[in-house]
């Protein structure tokens, strides 16, 4: 099975993708509510703030519930990262509407190195860059590309494997949008309620009919 399908299905099944979508929404709304152009809000202000608020929101969403037991903070050379199993995810803000136009050869040295990871379905030459990048053997580093527009409020969130594109070619080996098509959130699960076996009160006529309820665990 292709890597994109394997990685996507694994992260989807545990609620990782739902968690990052939730964090991105929370961070974007918080940021736009806090900043205003009349107060001097510039695009650069948004760019820095979007990165920092999303990182904080991800720490928060991965710090609670069952998923929090399996997702660890795993930075790469100072670049914030979160890892589930063999998949590490780093952040990259992109210009809204242009996620497929990212030039990794103009990104940070760490992102350049990530874009040069070996990819079995499209191997690239591992040219020495002189970069002091320390990756973890067996870990596949993916990128969570995020952006948003203020008016109208729109959000973009993508997960994918970057491709070194100094040749001007495609920016991704594969990339998928993390949006409302994810389906039910697996972090929610049905929990059997404990009901009394009998009730001796005379005025108790009916046993409650609702036997199962949906409880949010994260």
151 DSSP 8-state letter: T
89-119 pLDDT per residue, tens:
999 999 999 999 999 999 999 999 999 988 8
Q: At residue 217, does pLDDT exceed 50?
A: no
**pTM value?**
0.79
Q: Which residues contact 204 (CB under 8 A, 6 or more apart)?
A: none
Mean pLDDT of the chain: 82
Distances (CA, A) of 85 to 82, 150, 182: 10, 35, 20
Provide the 10 A C-beta neighbour count for residue 206.
Answer: 6
Output b/e per residue, 190-203; b: 16+ Cβ within 10 A.
eeeeeeeeeeeeee
Structure tokens at 165: 């594109």
Q: How far apart are CA 27 and CA 159, in angstroms?
A: 17
Of 20, 3, 84, the residue nearest 55 (C-alpha): 20
> Residue 1: what pLDDT?
65
Closest CA to 184 of 18, 25, 4: 18
Look at residue 131 and tell me whether its pLDDT is greater than 50: no
Of 41-45, 47-51, 80-84, 156-160, the least confident: 41-45
Tell me how crowded residue 62 is: count the other CB atoms within 10 A of its CB: 23
Between 42 and 176, where is the model more confident? Answer: 176
> pLDDT at residue 60 above 80?
yes
Mutual angle of helices 3-13 and 16-34, in 10-degree steps = 80
Rounded Cα–Cα distance for residues 156 and 57 (Å):
16
């Amino acid at each position: 099975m292709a890597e994109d399908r394997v990685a996507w299905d694994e992260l989807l099944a545990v609620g990782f993708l739902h968690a990052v979508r939730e964090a991105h929404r929370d961070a974007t709304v918080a940021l736009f509510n806090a900043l205003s152009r009349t107060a001097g809000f510039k695009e650069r202000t948004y760019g820095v703030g979007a990165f920092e608020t999303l990182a904080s929101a991800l720490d928060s969403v991965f710090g609670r519930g069952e998923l929090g037991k399996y997702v660890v903070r795993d930075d790469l050379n100072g670049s914030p990262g979160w890892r589930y199993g063999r998949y590490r995810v780093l952040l990259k803000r992109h210009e809204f509407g242009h996620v497929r136009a990212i030039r990794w050869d103009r990104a940070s040295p760490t992102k350049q190195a990530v874009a040069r990871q070996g990819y079995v379905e499209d191997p690239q030459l591992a040219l020495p860059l002189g970069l002091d990048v320390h990756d973890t053997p067996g870990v596949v580093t993916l990128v969570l590309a995020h952006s948003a527009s203020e008016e109208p409020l729109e959000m973009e969130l993508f997960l994918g494997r970057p491709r070194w594109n100094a040749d001007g070619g495609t920016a991704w080996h594969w990339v998928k949008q993390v949006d409302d098509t994810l389906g039910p959130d697996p972090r929610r699960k049905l929990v059997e309620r404990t009901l009394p076996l009998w009730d001796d009160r005379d005025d108790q006529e009916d046993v409650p009919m609702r036997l199962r309820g949906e409880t949010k665990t994260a």
